[in-house]
Chain A
């Protein structure tokens, strides 16, 4: 158990819908990351937050948005869903959000868009 929790574990929805994925980091970690894992794209970095502020952005679609709240949990919002958004979404956390940090991954949320 990494100490990072993600809810829900599975999510099945229809095209055009909007969903919210939630992540709670390990106790003491200030930085949260979101990654997408799909068969065709592999593991892709989406976005990083540090203590409530966005620190880095990857190839995150405009239909996707995220935030980190004062209690440090984070939410990833996916809207106008398309079939191609079906993937495993991981949240990770680390202490300082730096290059040398170890990132601890949650169990992931499997999103299926029908």
Chain B
């Protein structure tokens, strides 16, 4: 079975500081992993996805994530936080089988302080 755990429901950083949002997954098959961002009153937007091509995945808005099989992790990072990064972030894994069903973590709200 597939599952996702996001450590920390709220993360607060100062503007310009490193952003680190944690995601651990469980998957019975090689995983496809995704990070989505949700701004207030909007839908989800894909930041990046891992499909086994490369372990370090670069996404939009300066975000990147590293797939670590040994740690079953796919943490999201950004070297320098910007005020506009304040949002809710979701890690997701796609289910095994002939389906695109996504299983989401509980989400992490990122607060960026000036």
Residues of A in contact with B (beta carbons under 8 Å apart) = 2, 4, 31, 33, 35, 42-45, 48, 55-56, 58, 90, 92, 94, 96-108
Contact, CB under 8 Å: B43 / A90: yes
Contact size class for B?
A: 20 to 34
Contact, CB under 8 Å: A97 / B43: no
Per DSSP, chain B at the interface is loop
**Which residues of chain B in 1-59 are interfacial with respect to chain A, using CB atoms and an 8 Å cutoff?**
32, 34, 36, 42-46, 49, 51
The yes or no answer to B104 lying at the interface (CB within 8 A) is: yes
Contact, CB under 8 Å: A101 / B100: yes
Contact, CB under 8 Å: B100 / A33: yes
Contact, CB under 8 Å: B100 / A48: yes
What is the CA–CA distance of A107 and B43 in the complex, to the nearest angstrom? 4
| Among B32, B101, B102: residue with most chain A CB under 10 A | B101
What is the CA–CA distance of A3 and B36 in the complex, to the nearest angstrom? 16
Q: A4-B43, A90-B43 are in contact. List 14 more A-B contacts (CB 8 A).
A: A2-B43, A31-B100, A33-B101, A35-B102, A42-B107, A45-B101, A58-B101, A94-B100, A99-B32, A102-B49, A103-B102, A105-B36, A105-B43, A108-B43
What is the CA–CA distance of A56 and B94 in the complex, to the nearest angstrom? 12
**Which residues of chain B in 66-104 are interfacial with respect to chain A, using CB atoms and an 8 Å cutoff?**
90, 94-104
What is the CA–CA distance of A2 and B107 in the complex, to the nearest angstrom? 21
Which 7 pairs show the lowest CB-CB distances between chains A and B?
Answer: A56-B99, A105-B43, A43-B104, A99-B94, A105-B44, A107-B43, A97-B100
